[in-house]
Structure 1
Amino acid sequence: MTDQPDQTDGSAEPSLETLVGSWLTVPDVAERLGIALSAVRRLIEDRELLSARIGERRIVSVPEQFLEEDVFRHLRGTFTVLADGGLGDDEILRWLFTPDPTLRVPGTPVDNLAAGFKTEVRRRAMEQAF
């Protein structure tokens, strides 16, 4: 989870909140997955999900796209590759949701995870991180 402010600093780069687009609060994630709030917090602590503080009230939230089955099962390993390369949580989130026209499926790395291209995304993650 990142505690960094999520506002643009005048650069052309969009805020993380805007880049990801659709976020779910911890209670929303718990409801969607049918698990307890403490289990969602554990998923975040264990880095099976990443979160950020979103909005004016800085509420802990998870990108909604992470809950897609084809995405969720590939997140932990992808997070590990990027974190081992020195990226922080906010940088990992930004990388996963930044469009990359050179990927197999036009869109973002997380779109490519959803499409089943885990190997390509992790290869790119290794190149990015090292």
Structure 2
Amino acid sequence: MSEPVTAGPAGWINLPDVSEKLGVSISKVHQMIREGALLAVRRDGIRLVPAELVANDTVLKHLPGVLNLLHDAGYNDEEALKWLYEPDEALGGNAAIGLGGQQAREVKRRAQAVGF
């Protein structure tokens, strides 16, 4: 029997690079994280953002709303990360991928259901 594939981002971006990619100050990036508009987790003591969440030089449109729903349901950032990257072929691979495409509405619906 094969082991389940561990879900996770395809790549990571450190906060200074996120700042440069989005064209905002590093303090603005920290503010976005504090306000739940962007997800960052610590890896080896460094705060990193999943690369897919800052596609095309912007934060995915529906990410702040989904993060808000998950945080309201009691998820911390690590748990939200796990939820976003849990394998789900119906969403194109996982919820993070679904947020960037035609499945965004379904991702939001599922995030709402987590709280109930």
Which bin holds the TM-score, normalised by the shorter protein?
Answer: 0.7 to 0.9
Alignment partners' CA distance in 2, 1:26 and 1:95: 22
**Cα deviation digits, residues 52-92 of structure 1 (max 9, x gap):** 0113xx10111111112586211111011111111111111
Q: Residue 13 of structure 1: CA displacement?
A: 7.6
Q: Match of 2:67, SS?
A: helix
List aligned pairs for 1:28-39, cutoff 5 A: 28-39=17-28
Number of aligned residues: 113
Unpaired segments ≥5 residues, structure 1: 1-11
Pick aligned residue for 1:66 from 32, 38, 53? 53
Aligned pairs for 1:1-130 within 5 A = 14=6, 19-55=8-44, 58-68=45-55, 72-101=60-89, 103=90, 105-130=91-116
Gaps of 5+ in 2: none
Question: In structure 1, how many angstroms separate the alpha carbons of the residues matched to 2:33 and 2:92?
Answer: 28
Q: In structure 1, what residue type is equivalent to 2:10?
A: G
**Percent same amino acid at aligned positions?**
34
Query: Structure 2: how far apart are the matches of 1:67 and 1:120?
Result: 20
CA RMSD of aligned residues (A): 2.2
Runs of 4+ with deviation above 3 angstroms: none
Does the CA contact (< 8 Å) of 1:99 and 1:108 recur in 2?
A: yes
Please give the alpha-carbon distance, in whole angstroms, between the structure 1 residues aligned to 2:99 and 2:5.
23
Alpha-carbon deviations, 1:90-114, whole Å to 9, x = none?
111111011112x2x4300111111
Check conservation: 1:87, 1:129, Cα contact below 8 A. no
